[in-house]
Amino acid sequence: MTRSLACLTPRFPSLAALVVLVALLAGGLWLAPGEAVARTFDIVENDDVDFDFSTRRGLRLRFREPDLSFRVGGRLHLDGLVAGEDEVPIDSPDGDLRRARLYLAGEALDLVRFKVDREFAPDRKGWRNVWIGFRLPKRTQIKVGNFVAPFGLEDPAASNYSTFLERAVSSAIAPSFQTGVLVHSSGRFGRSRSRQRWTAAAAFTSEPLGQASDDRHGTEHLGFASRVTWAPLARKRRVVHFGASFEYRDLRGDNGYRITSRPEVGIITYPLRTGSLANVDSVVSYGLDSIGLFGSLTLQGEFMQSFVQRNGRDDPSFLGGYVQASYVLTGERRRYSRSQGVLLGVKPRSAWGAVELGVRASTLDLQDAGVDGGRTRDLTVGLNWYIRENVRLMFNYVAVDAEVAATGRTDRPHIGLARFMVFF
C-alpha cells in the first residue's frame, strides 16, 4: 500500500473572482477589531424610500407606499485541501469555489414573498431557489417553484450554518432541490406560552425545473415529501427536538435512479455510487433526526433509509446516518429556528469572534441486493472561527474508512480542509 501527500493550492477561475476574494478578506479583517454586530450604511433615506447596505444582509431597497422591499445578497465558500491518499487516487479539483451564489429576494404587503438565486461555482452552475410564496393565516405558508424538499435536518438548513464544511455522507439519500408546491406551518402545543413547538411541511414534487440532470438522484418523477418536528423544550439555551421525514417518488421516463456520495469533501470526486439503476418503479425513503442544545453544547443526529422497488429484479435498500457534537469554546451558542425546526449559526459576542469545536461520525451503505455502490464510515473533526456571524474560517480533518464501489477494495485516506466563508 502506498501513500502520498497532495497539496492543492487555490486556483481562481477568473481575475474577477480574485478581486472579490481579496475584497471580502480585507472587509473581514477590517471588521474584526470592531464590535461584533452587523453594520448598516444608508445610501438613500427619505419619507418614501430606504436604500441601504448591511454587512450581514446585503443591499436592501424598501418602499413605504406600497409596502415593498427587495434584497440582493449572496455567499462565497472558498475551499482548499491537503490529502493523504491510500488505494484510490484523489484527483485535483476543477475549481476551488465550492459555492459562489447571488440571490434576489423580495416581499410585498407582508403577504407575498419571492426568491431567485443562481450558483456560479465551476461545475455547479445553475438555478437553486426559484419560488414565490404566500403567507396564510395561522403561521401557514405556501411556496410554488424550485426549493429544497422538506426532508431531514441538514438539507433544509442553509449551508452557511453547517458545523462542518460538508453535510454528512448520509445526506446523499435526501431529495434536495425539487420543483413543485410546498405547504409549511408551525406553532405551539397547548397554552400560548407553552415551550413545546411543532412544525409540519409537505410538498408535491418533480425533478428540479423539469431537468432530470439537475435532480440529486437523476430521475424524472412525481413525488411527495414531508417532514414533521416536535420540540418538547425550545428555549434559547435549552432545546430538545425530534423530527421525522418521508419521501415517495414515482419514476417516469427512462432515467434510472442513482445515489452518489463523496467523503464529506465537496471539491473532489470519490467512487461511492450505485450507478444508474434501471427498471425502478418507485422509491420510498424515510428519515429520523434529533437535536439536544444545552448552552454552548449542541448534539444532533440523523438516520435515513431508502427502499428501491425494481421491476423484475431484487429490491435494494440503502441507509446512512450520523451523530455529532459541537461546543462553542468562547461561551456563545448555536441558535434554533422554532418556525423551521433546524439549527442556525453562532453569533459572536466578542470583538474577535467566536470559536467552535466539533466532531462527527457518519456512515453510508450503498451495498444491497446485487448493487455494489460501496460503503463508508467517516470521522470528521472541525474547528470554526466566527469572525462575524456571516464571516467564518473553517478547518476540518476527515478520516475515511471505505469500501470502494464495484471493486471491494478498502480505502482509508486522510483529508485536511480549510474554507473561507462569507454570506450576506
Total domains present in the chain: 1
Question: Could you tell me which of 89, 80, 94 has the C-alpha nearest to residue 4?
Answer: 89
According to the model, what pLDDT value does residue 94 have?
43
Q: What grid cell was written down for 44?
A: 438613500
Q: Say whether 25 sits in a helix, a strand or coil.
A: helix
CATH number at residue 259: 2.40.160.10
Residue 16, classified by CB atoms within 10 Å of its CB into exposed (0-12), middle (13-18) or buried (19+), is exposed
**CA trace torsion 359, 37, 340, 257 (10° rounding):** -60
For the chain, residues with pLDDT lower than 70 are 1-38, 85-89, 91-95, 191-194, 267-271
Instruction: Report which residue type is found at 135.
Output: R
> The domain containing residue 57 runs over which residues?
5-423
SS (H, E, C) 104-161: EEEEECCCEEEEEEEECCCCCCEEEEEEEEEEECCCEEEEEEEEECCCCCCCCCCHHH
Question: Could you tell me which of 259, 13, 262, 22 has the C-alpha nearest to residue 125?
Answer: 13
User: CA separation (Å) from 253 to 219, 220, 326?
Assistant: 8, 6, 44
According to the model, what pLDDT value does residue 19 have?
43
Contacts of 31 (CB under 8 A, 6+ apart): 39, 55, 387, 388, 391
Q: Say whether 365 sits in a helix, a strand or coil.
A: strand
Question: Could you tell me which of 73, 148, 72, 68 has the C-alpha nearest to residue 111?
Answer: 68
According to the model, what pLDDT value does residue 189 have?
83
According to the model, what pLDDT value does residue 150 have?
98
Q: What grid cell was written down for 72?
A: 440582493
pLDDT in tens, 70-122: 999 999 999 888 877 666 667 655 447 889 999 999 999 889 999 999 999 88
